[in-house]
Chains A and B, each alone.
Chain A
Amino acid sequence: MSKCRNLIATTALATLAAAPVLAQEFGLGRAALPEEIEAWDVAVLPDGTGLPEGQGDVYDGEEAWINNCAACHGDFAEGAGAWPVVAGGDGTLTDARPVKTVGSYWPYLSTVFDYVHRSMPFGAAQILTYDETYAITAYILYSNGIVEDDFVLSNENFTEVVMPNVDGFIIDDRMETEFPLFVTEPCMSDCSAPVEITKRATDIAVTPAFPRLLLDGTVLEPGATLEEASAQGTATDAAPMEEAAAEPAAEEVQVASLDPAMVEAGERAFRQCRSCHQVGDGARNGTGPTLNGIVGNVAGQVDGFRYSPAFVEKAEEGHVWTEESLDAFLENPRDYIERNRMAFRGVRDADERAALIAYLTSYSN
């Protein structure tokens, strides 16, 4: 009986807490539940606020790093392609080309843990456990020469780690250093001797090609000169649009045997892949290889892509990507090819996998 009364009393309190009309002006929104706060409030602060219980060592960190991070950041955190370099760069901050890494630049270790746990790996964020995050953070410290290889990082010793560049930051001082210089009465005439051109962007030539737009509506395509413009008049014509209209017809023939709805569903599902993989005309290798022609072909065959040893082995075995083998791989990439570097948790839903395979088939043969 008393238990029941307590329950009622608690419920009444909860109701009050959810709608404390006296304290809230509008009384909109509802009380956030502890489970909801735990799920979303994962921020970790420099003083250790928000650190979850857990631990990880450099050795486990290396394995987790190879599986989840190395494809973009290199086996030793040295970076790959244009992706960020995570280790090294000591003493380069005054160089012409500073190398800003966790070791050389980041002031707080909490930032590493927070970012790795909430935002990495790119394209499959929020899959790392707390222990894996501790381990990867430990490995990053090790790669930067901040700890030894027997180091174990945990919530207990986390705040004892001091980052090399912790004192390398000042709070915005523009009001003190720049305002006195730039709050002046501007000069209006004879402010300088006649000036000369010292640098030209056209000498560097790194700007993508662009059309130029003239006052009368003429569009000068890249490379066209003003003289050509006055000779040809309005440059726009209908031809390119006709070509564009013709294209889909060719594609339709190619995918005739596939269910267009499946291909379309696959295109949507492919969003989870496209941070690493490109497909279609003009596809280029990125973090992962291009996927044109993958269905029905031997694994590990894309020119110019540096496959992991695990994939090279599969290629040598002559492993063919059939609908069945792709399905098994996509369901659990880590188990299907052990120690491969694709940082992707897999697709649990069988229909979604079928759609993805249909989509990839539309770019095969």
Chain B
Amino acid sequence: MTDQSNDAPRKAGGASRRDFLRTAGLAAGGAALGATGARANTPDPLITEVQPYASFTGEAVDATPYGMPIHYEEHVVRRNVEWLTADPISSINFTPIHALEGTITPQGCAFERHHSGAIEMSKQEYRLMINGLVDRPLVFTFADLMRLPRESRVAFCECAANSGMEWGGAQLNGVQFTHGMIHNMEYIGVPLRVLLEEAGVQPEGKWIFVEGHDASSNGRSIPLEKAMDDCLVAFYANGEALRMEHGYPVRLIVPGWEGNMWVKWLRRIGVYDQAVEAREETSKYTDLLANGIARKWTWEMDAKSVVTSPSPQTPASHGPGPMVITGLAWSGRGKITRVDVSTDGGANWVEARIAGDAQSMALTRFYVDHVWDGKPMLLQSRAVDETGYVQPTKDQLRAVRGLNSIYHNNGIQTWYVNENGEAENVEVS
């Protein structure tokens, strides 16, 4: 008896779910027809009929001890562009920024960049060495780090190659692919300064060299001033432990500077009187100019912005009338002070509304509450940071750097939005 009575609602719920999907389809169709009229011809069954979820019970509390997004959101995931790299182990994927809002990137869909794969390392196995030009070469365990004073800060991490595929012209058709090598998290960690002071940097020490536990080690040189300023040796992000793919248990945070320097699985900090000039700061992450000379040590990420919606992956299929144009802006040199948006390819601009207080070297959300006339748009955004730097057009950048610098493409992005609201990556004259 008990079994049967428990069983009945489940079956009913199952059958009703399919009915519900059909009904929802009808309702959606009706809504689309009446988009501007906002008047229903027939009562909406989603309102007039008792829905299964309003009658039967839902999932119990322990259904998912660590929850994932509801399956309706299963398309909001990192995606890869396979042809970009030789192998997915030494590769990159992209944050679905077209489908995220606010400024904090959930760790589970924040882009990954590995040079020899994401490694599995426990807190117990973790060691951090500081040596070189220090009074006391030291080894820290994870527990040691957890006993030192902590700080928090929100920071964006952008791969220097973000938008790097666009130097030759519009290439990838989606903001996830053109601008998704970025994430923004709230980190908790020990200031790098505290650790360096524990070891006692000697007067000749001008640089640190940071490397990871993984097989690539991905070593980078950082000038001591930056290391003593705002870098964090972080172990939490967005309220929880770092994810494996982001360097669990410990990664370095280098606010405002290119993501390659944010060494994951941080293993050693060497103090030197010079830069190490390792592979990732000579052969890679140097910017070849048109004259055959390359810039090195281009650490700061220039001010940049992009409209995340509408964009090719999130069309404005709602038709004319009120709409939200939204996007992200950031600068490696401080706060975003202003973002302008154009709907005509840069001829005329309006100042966007910045959401909340812009934080230094962190993603900043902007909105334009637009009333669309239904005509095609050429959408652009343009960021200004506290140094007065105005995000340039791609052609302005090309005039200085040529087409082969790969890294640090912060040019203005254009989306062509047609009458149907479908968006496309284009460049304009």
Contact = CB atoms under 8 A, between A and B. Distances in A.
Contacts of A218: 28
B11 interface: no
Contacts of B422: 226
Interface in B100-119: 115-117
Nearest to A20: B136
Interface string B68-88: 000110011001111101110
A218 B28 CA distance: 9
A4 interface: no
A204 interface: yes
Interface string A196-207: 111111101011
B278 A173 contact: no
Size class of the contact patch on chain A: 35 or more
Nearest to B408: A174
B346 A191 contact: yes
A221 to B, nearest CB: 9
Contacts of B28: 216, 218, 230, 233-234
Given A23-B136, A213-B99, A286-B87, A230 B171 contact: no
Contacts of B349: 186-189, 191
Interface in A195-237: 195-202, 204, 206-208, 210-219, 226, 229-234, 236-237
Contacts of B136: 17, 20, 23-24, 31
Contact of A199 (B148, B288, B426): B426
Of listed A29, A171, A211, residue having the most chain B CB within 10 A: A29
Contacts of A190: 347-348
A195 B394 CA distance: 15
* Most A CB within 10 A of own CB, among B75, B82, B416: B75
Given A200-B425, A208-B82, A94 B131 contact: no
A191 B348 contact: yes
A59 interface: no
A321 to B, nearest CB: 24
Contacts of B391: 182
A219 B71 CA distance: 12
Contacts of B313: 210-213
B347 A195 contact: yes
Contacts of A202: 173, 424-425
A96 B404 CA distance: 8
B282 A106 contact: yes
B384 to A, nearest CB: 7
Given A186-B349, A208-B80, A226 B129 contact: no
B45 to A, nearest CB: 13
Interface in A9-53: 17, 20, 23-26, 28-32, 36-37, 40-41, 43, 45-47, 49
A134 interface: no
Of the listed residues A17, A93, A231, the one surrounded by the most CB atoms of chain B closer than 10 A to its CB is: A93
Interface in A115-141: 115, 118-119, 122-123, 125-126
A23 to B, nearest CB: 6
A304 interface: no
B181 to A, nearest CB: 15
A186 B286 contact: no
A340 interface: no
Interface stretch (B50-58, B225-233, B264-272, B366-374): B264-272
Nearest to A230: B32
A334 interface: no
B117 to A, nearest CB: 7
19 contacts: A28-B148, A31-B136, A82-B87, A115-B279, A119-B217, A122-B215, A169-B293, A189-B349, A195-B347, A196-B429, A197-B416, A199-B427, A200-B424, A201-B424, A204-B171, A213-B98, A215-B318, A231-B29, A233-B29
Interface of A: 17, 20, 23-26, 28-32, 36-37, 40-41, 43, 45-47, 49, 72, 81-83, 93-94, 96, 98, 100, 102, 105-108, 110-111, 114-115, 118-119, 122-123, 125-126, 168-174, 177-179, 181-184, 186-202, 204, 206-208, 210-219, 226, 229-234, 236-237, 241, 271, 274-275, 286-287
- 8 closest A-B pairs by beta carbon, nearest first, are A233-B25, A82-B86, A195-B345, A201-B425, A93-B292, A29-B138, A125-B215, A32-B137
